[in-house]
Amino acid sequence: MKEFIKSSLIEFAVIVLVLSLSDGIEINKWRNFIIFGEILVVVMIFRMCSIFIDKFQNRFYIIDVLVEFIASLSVVLFFGFIFGWYEIDRIGYMVVVGVIVYGICYILGIAGNKKSADYINSQLEKRRKNRENIDKNSADR
């Protein structure tokens, strides 16, 4: 399911970028393409920060989550202000949007990790049973 969601989101992003690019070329309306490009830059910077943050694991999981959340919110607020996504007096709105997006992504990540863990555990259980059958058959001979 995780791969399905990831593939769907990638395909959606490509379609949106191509449609906004075609609007820019056909009718000289580049604003959507620029906004999507800005979002892509922010996501790539956030991903680079995540790779760096993941190298430092804390003993307390909640601290790891808070550090990741604060880093992601900081990147969005900083670049959002630079790109003019919000006025400074509407920063609370951007924080709320950041919390909602982070929460949804966090829940999707947990669900994907649970599915992966369940799949790996089922494969290990099958392997253990196969190994037991092999050992039992060799002992019978």
pTM over 0.75: no
Which positions ≥6 away from 94 have C-beta within 8 Å? 76, 77, 80, 85, 86
Shortest CA distance to 42 belongs to which of 11, 80, 2, 85?
80
* pLDDT, the chain, mean: 84
DSSP state of 83: T
pLDDT for 138 equals: 73
Model pLDDT, residue 98: 86
15 pLDDT above the threshold of 80? yes
Could you report the per-residue pLDDT of 22-54, keeping only the tens digit for each? 988 989 889 889 999 998 899 899 888 888 888
Q: How many residues does the chain have?
A: 141
